[in-house]
Amino acid sequence: GLVSYRLSVGGNMYLEIGGDFNYTDSTTGGTQDTNATMDYTLYNARITLGDEEGKWSAQLWSHNITDEYYYPSAFVANGPFVRMVGMPRTVGATVAYYW
């Protein structure tokens, strides 16, 4: 799911606030119960300031804002059992200029 709200803030600029979520259901692991994964939901958020002409923008964002600990996959790799851990909470900034 995704929600976004954009409003003019004057001076030919806009402010956009958005968020999204992604739900992933559990898996059975197929023939190996140890390969099963639990369900999890990830939430992301962002706030963007830019010009209405689309020449530049600056964005602050966060992925996995609830810092959900999750395993997107599990498998056997040439003998050892491997369980991949998902990304923790991540924050950043993106600046873009278009010419």
pLDDT surpassing 80 at residue 31: no
For 99, the 3-state DSSP assignment is coil
Mean pLDDT of 23-30: 84
**d(C-alpha 43, C-alpha 97), whole Å:** 27
What integer is the mean pLDDT of 4-16? 95
pTM (2 decimals)?
0.81
Q: Convert the pLDDT of each residue in 39-94 to its tens digit.
A: 999 999 999 999 999 999 999 999 999 999 998 887 777 778 788 899 999 999 99
**Amino acid sitting at position 79:** G
